[in-house]
Structure 1
């Protein structure tokens, strides 16, 4: 079976796990994994690793994500999105202007801390937060370090309703960022309760909406005998790592999982070793022995 990455376009109504189960059935393999959960009400890019590429899922998951979100000012919900019960309400009068919104969005760029939503899969003492929330139990939520790389207002999207105001923005952020929480925080800064009313993931690492493919199209291509056309090579998922070409002697050492001396130019945390475009392994700086590097993920074995 071919190994690689499928840039799936997850549609609303499905969980990320649902998508994995469907891909397993379509490609008749258990070796399938996704690269970052998307809530059922959210659609967009969800890279799926298949075959040996499941080994590199963590590297794609760790990469920045981009979303297009709609925020609605006027009421907040238990879940911080449109599916929750209303917990706070306030008429949006006067309506904030675009300049004020842009200035507020800009203030959220950079490194910061975020408290995840009550209704989320973050675990505390072995249980997911939403399990505590559904049981009506209070629990201290962990503070997460995140980074907002870019946050911009999407032009001509400001719409005023009877009691609410909505607009759209595009955010590029680090792994683990809750855009739902970002929306409520933005609303609070503008002086109103708010929630995320819509969300689409437009990029996950190197994969964009333009190249993402829906499940129906994958099924069609498999029936046509061209299923391999939806699978991108593993190298694309590791393109962000420094690439080091090695000779046959070093290749043999790598395939045996040997600890190697670090080249003076190897100052990055991780490296991708290749031989004639064949992916061998991801190496990392040795945690206890300075000047040495050790294997982190073997991509090929003897």
Structure 2
């Protein structure tokens, strides 16, 4: 069984919980997830099965699409609704045009400081481990990219003394939407947190492609689980592709170093034969004019 299982992760489950559950449902150990989702978050979590586990780092590296709710007026220690309140300030009602104008400042390359309650490692230890011990450490700032960020019209509401509105975000790998929501609040001069989040898409795999754990269980009991799997190439559509002839395909299947293709390709790139992905190659770092395999399927 090889392919990508497009799971709709439910709230209350960690990404690891989902991997363990699917291993039991499909009776296979070769399952890997493609980007952690916090327990309180639901949404698209592609799981790689069998040979598809070889593409986990490449699918993880794709853009993500989210819908989030920003809650202005209250900050929490975790930057989401699950954390203890650390700051309050009575907000005012923000106008839609003002929100749209402010969001323009968050488009493109931005710098984020990861939240203390995150899995980012500092000196070999995860930040949330420091946080649970009450230890504050310097967190490394990192650059992420916001391709699109849009205000969702009509989403404004007052809830629990906070003014809330929703945003639609397309962003690079490594973006913390919790931190983005907090920073948007700061830009308006208020404490804020992320009160809701759903991941709508990972790479080319969208919510409409996904199955729930119950659906996966039902298909598995009927011996039809393979019908749910997307082909490996579905997780590699963001990479350039080089289609080769039969002779070259044989050499690629045997992991050989080859001459560079005549086409200019972004590094790394897929190699295909008659529509089937054979491998992922890259330009050879030590041999000019050559390419070498990164993954062979």
Q: Tell me if both proteins adopt one fold, taking TM over 0.5 as the criterion.
A: yes
Q: Which residue does the alignment assign to 2:135?
A: 137
Aligned to 1:257, the other structure's residue is in SS state coil
CA distance in 1: counterparts of 2:192 and 2:274, whole angstroms = 53
Q: Which residue does the alignment assign to 1:19?
A: 18
Q: Which residue does the alignment assign to 1:196?
A: 194
CA distance in 2: counterparts of 1:272 and 1:47, whole angstroms = 19
Q: Which residue does the alignment assign to 1:5?
A: 4
Q: Which residue does the alignment assign to 2:70?
A: 71
Structural RMSD (CA):
1.2
Q: CA deviation at 1:229?
A: 1.6
CA distances 1:261-283 after superposition (whole Å, capped 9, x unpaired): 11232331122112233321110
Q: CA deviation at 1:162?
A: 6.3
CA distance in 1: counterparts of 2:288 and 2:142, whole angstroms = 30
Aligned to 2:209, the other structure's residue is in SS state coil
Q: CA deviation at 1:286?
A: 1.4
The answer on whether the counterparts of 1:4 and 1:232 sit within 8 Å (CA) in structure 2 is yes
CA distances 1:276-298 after superposition (whole Å, capped 9, x unpaired): 33321110111232222111111
CA distances 1:56-96 after superposition (whole Å, capped 9, x unpaired): 11111000000000110011000000111111100013x11
The answer to whether the aligner puts 1:163 opposite 2:158 as a matched pair is: no
CA distance in 2: counterparts of 1:103 and 1:234, whole angstroms = 40
The TM-score, its normalising length taken from structure 2, stands at: 0.97
Aligned to 2:180, the other structure's residue is in SS state helix
Q: CA deviation at 1:258?
A: 1.6
The answer on whether the counterparts of 1:96 and 1:190 sit within 8 Å (CA) in structure 2 is no
Q: CA deviation at 1:17?
A: 0.2
Aligned to 1:145, the other structure's residue is in SS state strand
CA distance in 2: counterparts of 1:192 and 1:75, whole angstroms = 8
Aligned to 1:290, the other structure's residue is in SS state coil
Q: CA deviation at 1:114?
A: 0.8
Aligned to 1:36, the other structure's residue is in SS state coil
1:116-127 equivalence runs, <5 A:
116-127=114-125
Gaps in structure 2 of 5+ consecutive residues:
none
Change (3 A) 1:134 1:274: same
Q: CA deviation at 1:161?
A: 4.1
Aligned to 2:147, the other structure's residue is in SS state strand
Q: Which residue does the alignment assign to 2:176?
A: 178
CA distance in 1: counterparts of 2:265 and 2:242, whole angstroms = 13
CA distances 1:88-121 after superposition (whole Å, capped 9, x unpaired): 100013x111111111111100012111000000
Change (3 A) 1:162 1:255: closer
The answer to whether the aligner puts 1:97 opposite 2:95 as a matched pair is: yes
Q: CA deviation at 1:209?
A: 0.8
Q: CA deviation at 1:224?
A: 2.6
Gaps in structure 1 of 5+ consecutive residues:
none
CA distance in 2: counterparts of 1:108 and 1:290, whole angstroms = 40
CA distances 1:186-230 after superposition (whole Å, capped 9, x unpaired): 000111100000000000111111111100011111223321121
Moved more, 215-224 or 47-56: 215-224
CA distances 1:152-196 after superposition (whole Å, capped 9, x unpaired): 001101113463100100000000000000000000011110000
CA distance in 1: counterparts of 2:169 and 2:269, whole angstroms = 28
CA distance in 1: counterparts of 2:39 and 2:280, whole angstroms = 33
CA distance in 2: counterparts of 1:226 and 1:162, whole angstroms = 46
The answer to whether the aligner puts 1:48 opposite 2:47 as a matched pair is: yes
The answer on whether the counterparts of 2:150 and 2:169 sit within 8 Å (CA) in structure 1 is yes
Q: Which residue does the alignment assign to 1:235?
A: 233
The answer to whether the aligner puts 1:223 opposite 2:221 as a matched pair is: yes
